[in-house]
Amino acid sequence: MRLRKDSFETLGGLPISPVPGPNDSGTEPEIPGHPPYTRGVHETMYRSRYWTMRQYAGFSSAEETNARFRTLLDRGQSGLSVAFDLPTQLGMDSDDPLSFGEVGRVGVAIDSILDMRALFDGIQLDQVSTSMTINSPAIILLALYVAVGEEQGIPSEQLRGTVQNDILKEYIARGTHVFPPEPSMRLITDLIQYCAENHPAWNTISISGYHIREAGATAVEELAFTLSNALAYVDAALSTGMHVDEFAPRISFFFGCHNDFFEEVAKFRAARRLWYRLVTERYHPKDPKSTMLRFHTQTAGVTLTAQQPLNNVARVAYQAMSAVLGGTQSLHTNSYDEAIGLPTDQSSTIALRTQQILAEETGVADVVDPMAGSYHVEALTDRIENEAYALICEIDEMGGALAALKTGFQQRRIHESAWKQTMDVEALNRKVVGVNHARMDDGIEIEGQMIDPKIAEQQHEKFVQLRSQRNPSEVEAALSALTLAAGADDNLFPLILQAVKAYCSVGEIMNALKTEFGTWMAPSGF
């Protein structure tokens, strides 16, 4: 929350109007906080409350990540974002032979409730908002989080946060899917349905354009593919018998923010307007919140360079500013050394300070949608909305996002866009400072975060501890019940929650589901 101010003024003492007046066309401007939400989902936006400042953190063990979380919270961060290692993202335990060499590398290793307890040791879950970037095993990781919340005595309605839970973009752009699309969609709707009844403050899905953009999509493709995926999730939830107003207000989005400053501002404004249009026309909700597009933004990892890495501080700052001017609800700023290795304590602190300077020193948070009325921004907003809508309609004609990805349509479009961008850089049609322009021979030595090579061994020791503390017959019963239920229509979340409380591991639960669901490989698009 911001401290209450009676008036706002510039550094030079000039008064600041909360919402700029009529635009140059002479038409009355839209009102922030009102449909179609082009100018923001709240009337006062950052005047009354800043965006949530997050840093995506997770490496090595749960204990080491917990220490980083505590440091970030002490320095003013207002939300936690958990990065999981690759085995966890794929639902594999650390002692799985396929996990060799990847344990704790690109995120934290979470194998069981022992790790989840350690991850949030000393952190009251009713005092933070937690975002978890997890997809295939999302329902399991959320069950672990819920179990730890129960152990802390926190009422279920006070758990706040987001689980990404977006499997379609994994098929399209990222690749950490495990199950075929249909059972994967079932896991998503089971989670949505359970949380609607038991954890009303939890955002049950964060539909991600970020990874689509990182794979090479354009701004229009990022928006179109993300919203098309969102429509597929809404349709899937409706097919279970839920009403749109039961779950749509807890849907959130996750976008990347790239270097084209005005295009990104316009993209965010167009996203809100287009989502309002799509939900209103297709689902006719009664709750206005069902039509509000709320989103988290992360500055673009793909724009960071290993050459002259300190230049990334400037890139991140400009990207963060465009996200704020576009009306984001939460923001992660990348660390300048991420093209080299995991962020250090110093670089992640600078990334957080970038947001704090943006909020407290630049004045951009004092005006709601200050870019409104700009000929350039308004024209870009219209153009992006119209082109994204046309692409969504094209996907609709194929049968929707799920049918289209099975043909490799979205994948192919992303490959083509990525190729064009690469060719533009190599042909010097697009300059990247330090890479193909303003190069320097002498580099700056930067040491990235080092991962303890013994982390895998430590996780193996935890498995010994886990097995010594659990009842084998309870574990077997919980896993058997889960496999049986996977072949029926029951909601799987209560059974998964029961399994994690019985000290079943993430990998064991995934294998129990694989017995019924099997696995799947998505088309590459080539």
Give the per-residue pLDDT at 6: 65
Find how far residue 287's CA is from the centre of its chain: 24
Backbone dihedral region for residue 76 (phi beyond 0: left; psi -120 to 50: alpha; all else: beta)? left
Rounded alpha-carbon distances, angstroms, from residue 485 to 135, 178, 184:
21, 19, 15
d(CA 274, CA 256): 17
If we measure between CA atoms, which residue out of 129, 155, 143 comes closest to residue 190? 143
Which residues, 6 or more positions from 6, have their beta carbon under 8 angstroms from its beta carbon?
Answer: none
Residues facing 132 on adjacent strands = 82, 163
Q: Are 187 and 232 in contact (CB under 8 A)?
A: no
Q: Are strands 202-203 and 161-163 parallel, antiparallel or unpaired?
A: parallel
Q: Is the dihedral of CA 464, 468, 469, 471 positive or negative?
A: positive
Give the per-residue pLDDT at 341: 83
Give the per-residue pLDDT at 149: 97
Count of other CB atoms within 10 angstroms of residue 12: 5
* Token code pair at residue 263: 């295009």
Give the per-residue pLDDT at 84: 95
Helices 62-74, 345-361: crossing angle, 10 deg rounding: 30
pLDDT by residue, tens only, the chain of 526 residues = 565 566 776 556 768 667 765 543 444 568 999 999 999 999 999 999 999 888 777 778 999 999 988 988 888 877 888 999 999 999 999 999 999 999 998 899 999 999 999 999 999 999 999 999 999 999 999 999 999 999 999 999 999 999 999 999 999 999 999 999 999 999 999 999 999 999 999 999 999 999 999 999 999 999 999 999 999 999 999 999 999 999 999 999 999 999 999 999 999 999 999 999 999 999 999 999 999 999 999 999 999 999 999 999 999 999 999 999 999 999 999 999 999 987 888 998 899 999 999 999 999 999 999 999 898 999 999 999 999 999 999 999 999 999 999 999 999 999 999 999 999 999 999 999 999 999 997 666 666 556 667 888 999 999 999 999 999 999 999 999 999 999 999 999 999 999 999 999 999 999 999 999 999 998 886 6
Give the per-residue pLDDT at 466: 93
d(CA 88, CA 486): 21
DSSP class of residue 109?
-
Rounded alpha-carbon distances, angstroms, from residue 483 to 172, 488, 499, 516:
28, 9, 11, 6
If we measure between CA atoms, which residue out of 195, 152, 225, 145 comes closest to residue 398? 225
**DSSP secondary structure string, 277-314?**
HHHHHHH--SSGGGG---EEEEE-GGG--SSSTTHHHH
Q: Are 231 and 239 in contact (CB under 8 A)?
A: no
User: 50-426 belongs to which homologous superfamily?
Assistant: Methylmalonyl-CoA mutase (3.20.20.240)
